[in-house]
Structure 1
Amino acid sequence: MSYDIIKSVGRAPRIHQKGDPQQASGRTFFIDASHQNLTTIPSEILALEDLEEAHLENNQLEAIPQGIQRLKNARILYLNKNKLSELCPELGKLSSLEGLDLSHNPLLPSSLPVLSGLRALRELRLYHTRLADIPIAICKLLHHLELLGLTGNDLKSLPKEIVNQTKLREIYLKQNQFEVFPAELCVLYNLEIIDLDENKLTVIPEEIGSLTRLLKFYVACNSLPVLPESLGHCRKLSVLDLSHNRLHSIPHTLAELTGMTEIGLSGNHLEKVPRFICKWTSLHLLYLCNTGLRGLRRSFRRLVSLRFLDLSQNHLERCPSEIGALKNLEVLALEDNKIRQLPSDFGSLSKLKMLGLTGNQFLSFPEEILSLESLEKLYIGQDQGAKFTSLPEHISKLQSLKELYIENNHLEYLPTSLGSMPNLEILDCRHNRLKQLPDSICQAQDSGVVAWNNGPERIGEI
């Protein structure tokens, strides 16, 4: 089981409705013609001169007709996930356009300068468009950009003219080919979000400390061996993802980031939780998967706001007792450690909804789990390590449980009480020693799925 920090890079449509483009008429301000297999933009849409927001994504459009210039009041235009390679000059005449999404199109670089005519543009998304360069004209002439989305391209650098984007608040550069952090970004003082995940960065410049309005900084899956101490000057930083780099320590200057709510450190060989992190009492997501941990600091119990904690793939031989103090935990991942038992106060985690224990050393089912009244998902397959042979009959105490994964154990039978659990939807007991399922499970009225030795079946149809 793996978890990713959730990052929002877009905004939902202002109005949610579905319209038939053939029936659009009158003073129409919004239209959704997405997923219609359109090969061209219907003339009926181009005739809607009052149109402000148009959704044409997920179609088969190969070209934008000259008539697009008739949409002089258009403010938001979604053309993503089509087959556009060329952009007609008339697109650049939409003087009111504030938001444009051209993502997932095979755009030719030669057609991109057309966009420099969209002087009112605030949000431009060019995700996954195979770009190797950004036209200088865009950086020079679009002075109102607040969001620039360039994820999933072949960029190695940004033009120096990007410094003209003084209003830029969000820039998304994930999944590109950057080996050097774009130093030009360090003078864009209004930046709030920088996403450089999945590049080839080896260093972040000290000048990053100039970005005092930075809120979210993503540099996961790079090759960073160290961090600049100046990062601690970004006092408003609340989300920081450093996962899967080559870090062995975190600068003590980051202790100044007292507003941190989410931090990802997975995949770095830290061996210990940095002491100052235990002072971040507003932290609610903490990723420490595969960091070489053998235990937690006693001060870890101060993190009372934590809702999500990933300690999987470490060297824990016991479940840290400090976890019992984290009363707001909703998700706890402890997979692939060496844990043999849970602490006696484990059941006090009254808000826990998801628990991952797969790949540990349990010789019997840990009954401390049975007090987790809010638990909805339990993963306790033993794909490596020890096996256990039975489940307690009173597992039915877990009345909120929706999904139970107990594969790869040595279970010879299942308790009949599983059939009386009202919310159970998925029961995965594959790769055990079961010869049959209890009648109580076979007769369950739920529409859930049970996966066992003979393959997945629908409960009630076995």
Structure 2
Amino acid sequence: MASGMKSRIPRGQQATPKGPSGRLGKLNPIFQKQTSAMEASQLSPLIVKQARKSGKLNLSGKSLTTVPERVWTLDSLDELEIKSLEMRISDSARDEEDSKWWDHEPLTNLDISNNCITSISPSIKYAAALTTLMLQHNSLCTLPNEIGQLQRLKILNLSHNKLTDLPEGVFGLKELRQLNLSFNHLEDLSESIGDLNMLEKLDLSHNRLTVLSPGIGFLTHLTHLMATHNQIADVPPDVGNLRVLRELDLSNNEIPSLPLLGELRKLEIFRAEHNNITDLPDFTGCASIHEVHLSGNCIAELSETELEALEQVRVLCLRDNKLEVIPESVTCLKNLIRLDVGNNGIKDLPACLSLLPHLSTLTLDGNPLRTIRTDVIKGGTTRVLKVLRGQLSNDLSPSMNQNSGLPGMNAQPWPNKYNMKSSRSLNLGMRQITEVPDEVFEEAVQAEVYNVDLCKNLLTQVPSGVTLVAELLTELNLSNNKLTTLPTTLTACKRLQYLEVSQNLLTDLPPNFDAFEQLREINFSFNRFEAVPACLYGLPKLEILMCRDNKIKEIDAVGLGSIPRLATLDLSNNDISSVPPQLGLIRLHCLELAGNSFKVPRQNILSKGTPSILSYLRDRLPK
């Protein structure tokens, strides 16, 4: 300080230094790095007490960078707890019921997702009772080999991390049922994956894989295999060994061809959209196949043999390929409900398409059609099929009647239980019936049917006998009738997976339809709905929602976003005036919006397909 100048600081008081130990260091900023002590404090005595009582510990979203070491030894007492226990014993104190250390539940469920954890301690081996371990949405680059000592682990979620490889210990988890490795940096998957022989669900999506490991062929209990958004160019024939596989998704890869899939007798859903596939895969032997999605490939031709193998398919998506002709052998797809051949090079449609008894959605936009006027195509499927029926030559008309299943003068219009037993289905479609006696459904119960088809009749209400087969029913088709309401008693069909109620007079669904926890697909197109029924929001397994050609005015993006597995959404030909940008946040495989009154997105965006539409909507989200 210059001489002659007096300090303004009172005596006995020093200036506060600027630094960690000074005034500024005592500030409590909103954003600060957590110390080990702070992170350990997240595991308070109360949380420990609750975890020991329930066997579950939730540390999700706590901004942790490391896992407190105490987590791995939660089943044992620490030093303070031992001393406290000794004091209580010496004082002859009685433990309360909820503090008896010998009565604690072992830690079986641990959720430390949505943190900033970069590594896991080898001490994880001490949490040997774990059956569920949630580590998704962290920053893990490696895993300790000791994770393999969790021999009771059944569910392991490692999605949304930075893993480049897996330790061999992971492949020693013999009880593992579900393994989620999506959104990581995996470039290779060891053949040791085949050692997880109890695995039922495997998700490898959004990685950097170039080859699908042959070891996957040894996963004989696998029911769901997801490997989307990789760089896979080779699918080994070993995939054909997955005899109980129900869903296979290989979309968004670089696959040029697929091996024989005929041994996949349980396969229900096949997706290989946006690849380089040039030929329709051979599905001969896939007796359960219901959905085939091959949009965005290079398929130029459909052979009769290939189509005959898809006799059971209900949904066939071949959008954005190189097709120029739809062969007349398409009539062998007698169960087809939805056919999407948009954005191909098709110039003519075979009139025999109108012979398909269940076809309710035919998407043709983006083709250079010459025999069908543009205004007819915009009029929707019903109008297109009507025009095609008018083009049928006289010699095909008797064939149509013959194949339609109309009883005519048949003395026995109702199927007997022996016929139903062989097909496990009750098929009463296109009989012009107004009611079905309960006796028919009683015989259906004895035949153990799981499929009831009542389409194209004159029903004004759902036959009460449907509830008699409720315990087995998984598929119900009520399309093309005169239904104005659906009964609340339908929810007795707890196993229902597919519900077809298109082309009726419905305006809403009963609110108790949220009880359909197994429902995978519902089609209520060509009705009078003014909104998507709220009872469908949140359904855990709903994947396909068809609601075109109604009077829907608004899109509830929040409600639709609450359907966790929604993949296909058709809202075309409604009265929608605006499209909320939040719709772009839903991970949809197929989105149809054409034929509404909104001005954005424009037609040039809609014509580019689902990925472009969703990207456009995301770009419009508020920053």
Query: Do they superpose with TM above 0.5?
Result: yes
- One-letter code aligned to 1:224: I
Cα drift, residue 260 of structure 1: 1.8
Q: Paired residue for 2:294?
A: 288
From 126, 133, 148, the counterpart of 1:139: 148
C-alpha contact (below 8 Å) 2:318/2:340 kept by paired residues: yes
Alignment of 1:257-336 (within 5 A): 257-274=264-281, 276-299=282-305, 300-336=307-343
Q: Paired residue for 1:400?
A: 527
Whole-Å separation in 1 of the counterparts to 2:554 and 2:194: 51
Cα drift, residue 241 of structure 1: 2.0
RMSD: 3.5
Cα separation, partners in 2 of 1:425 and 1:249, compared to 1, 3 Å: same
Cα drift, residue 359 of structure 1: 2.3
Cα drift, residue 280 of structure 1: 1.7
From 236, 239, 253, the counterpart of 1:231: 239
C-alpha contact (below 8 Å) 1:217/1:241 kept by paired residues: yes
Per-residue CA deviation, residues 374-412 of structure 1 (Å, 9 max, x unaligned), is: 658xxxxxxxxxxxxxxxxxxxxx842769xxxxxxxxx
Cα drift, residue 145 of structure 1: 0.6
C-alpha contact (below 8 Å) 1:86/1:107 kept by paired residues: yes
Cα drift, residue 155 of structure 1: 0.7
From 52, 63, 79, the counterpart of 1:83: 63
Q: Paired residue for 2:382?
A: 370
C-alpha contact (below 8 Å) 2:300/2:324 kept by paired residues: yes
C-alpha contact (below 8 Å) 1:175/1:197 kept by paired residues: yes
C-alpha contact (below 8 Å) 1:282/1:303 kept by paired residues: no
Cα drift, residue 240 of structure 1: 2.0
Q: Paired residue for 2:179?
A: 171
- One-letter code aligned to 1:424: K
Q: Can you give the 5+ residue segments of structure 2 that lack an aligned partner in the other structure?
A: 1-39, 76-104, 386-479, 481-500, 504-524, 531-547, 556-573, 579-595, 602-623
Cα separation, partners in 2 of 1:320 and 1:99, compared to 1, 3 Å: farther
Cα drift, residue 347 of structure 1: 4.5
- One-letter code aligned to 2:47: I
Per-residue CA deviation, residues 121-153 of structure 1 (Å, 9 max, x unaligned), is: 11112112111111233223x110111111111
C-alpha contact (below 8 Å) 1:346/1:368 kept by paired residues: no
Whole-Å separation in 1 of the counterparts to 2:192 and 2:204: 14
Matched, 1:162 2:142: no
Whole-Å separation in 2 of the counterparts to 1:279 and 1:100: 42
Alignment of 1:44-443 (within 5 A): 63-71=42-50, 72-92=52-72, 93=74, 95-109=105-119, 112-113=121-122, 115-140=124-149, 142-252=150-260, 254-274=261-281, 276-299=282-305, 300-347=307-354, 351=358, 354-362=361-369, 363-364=373-374, 365-366=376-377, 369-370=381-382, 373=480, 399-400=526-527, 423-426=550-553
- One-letter code aligned to 1:358: D
- Please give the secondary structure, in 2, of the residue aligned with 1:255: coil
State TM-score, norm by structure 2: 0.48
Cα separation, partners in 2 of 1:74 and 1:453, compared to 1, 3 Å: closer
Cα separation, partners in 2 of 1:284 and 1:80, compared to 1, 3 Å: farther
- One-letter code aligned to 2:298: G
Whole-Å separation in 2 of the counterparts to 1:245 and 1:195: 15
More helix by share: 2
Whole-Å separation in 2 of the counterparts to 1:76 and 1:199: 30
- Please give the secondary structure, in 2, of the residue aligned with 1:171: strand
- Please give the secondary structure, in 2, of the residue aligned with 1:148: strand
State TM-score, norm by structure 1: 0.63
- One-letter code aligned to 2:169: E
- Please give the secondary structure, in 2, of the residue aligned with 1:185: helix
Whole-Å separation in 2 of the counterparts to 1:203 and 1:86: 33
Cα separation, partners in 2 of 1:119 and 1:146, compared to 1, 3 Å: same
- One-letter code aligned to 1:400: N
Per-residue CA deviation, residues 340-383 of structure 1 (Å, 9 max, x unaligned), is: 4544344455655655433223542236722675658xxxxxxx
C-alpha contact (below 8 Å) 2:362/2:381 kept by paired residues: no
Whole-Å separation in 1 of the counterparts to 2:292 and 2:239: 19
- Aligned-residue sequence identity (percent) comes to 28
Whole-Å separation in 2 of the counterparts to 1:352 and 1:114: 58
Whole-Å separation in 2 of the counterparts to 1:369 and 1:79: 52
Cα separation, partners in 2 of 1:233 and 1:453, compared to 1, 3 Å: closer
Cα separation, partners in 2 of 1:228 and 1:426, compared to 1, 3 Å: same
